[in-house]
Amino acid sequence: MHGRQCLSQHAGAVASEISIPRGSRVRKPYWGYEDIGILFVFLVLLTPVFRLLVYFHLLLRSELTNPSVGFQFGLVAFVSPALYLVLKLRYHQPVLRPLGWVLPGPAYTVAALLLGISFASGVALFYDIFMLAVGLDEKRLPLHQPRGSEAAVATRPQ
């Protein structure tokens, strides 16, 4: 009995060492692994939906193996509200702020814009220099895989 009490006191001391200070605006998360499990069950239930969409030719099979940006955006736009609903319906507490889904301050916005443009320009410049050094022409370098009738036109001898 005494050993359990000591163990619980030790666990309490360790928990207080790693806890968030009282004056901090950061809150401990109120969700747990069960909520992640519910979200994964939701994702698993999406699989038959996608298979039905492919079966009825409403979705290309290639979209599942090589998803386009629009498909990825749609999936994220569908799963994010599912996570919101799971947390809101189970706990009836605010969801967006504790998850960190807040608008950044103006300094972070300006820094992200400037750094993003700078990095993108650097990559584009490196790409152009690499293409000149190797001697490849952009017209000879395929940027996408042709599909359907485009493939027949692309492979036809000229």
Quick one: pLDDT at residue 41? 93
How far is C-alpha 35 from the chain's CA centre? Answer: 17
Q: Structure pTM? A: 0.55
The DSSP 8-state label assigned to residue 25 in this structure reads S
d(CA 134, CA 130): 6
Other residues' Cβ atoms within 10 Å of the Cβ of residue 147? 10
- Which of 29, 102, 39, 104 lies closest to 75, judged by CA? 39
Q: Work out the average pLDDT over 78-88.
A: 93
Main-chain phi, psi angles of 132, to 5 degrees: -70, -40
The encoded tokens of residue 112 equal 């992200």
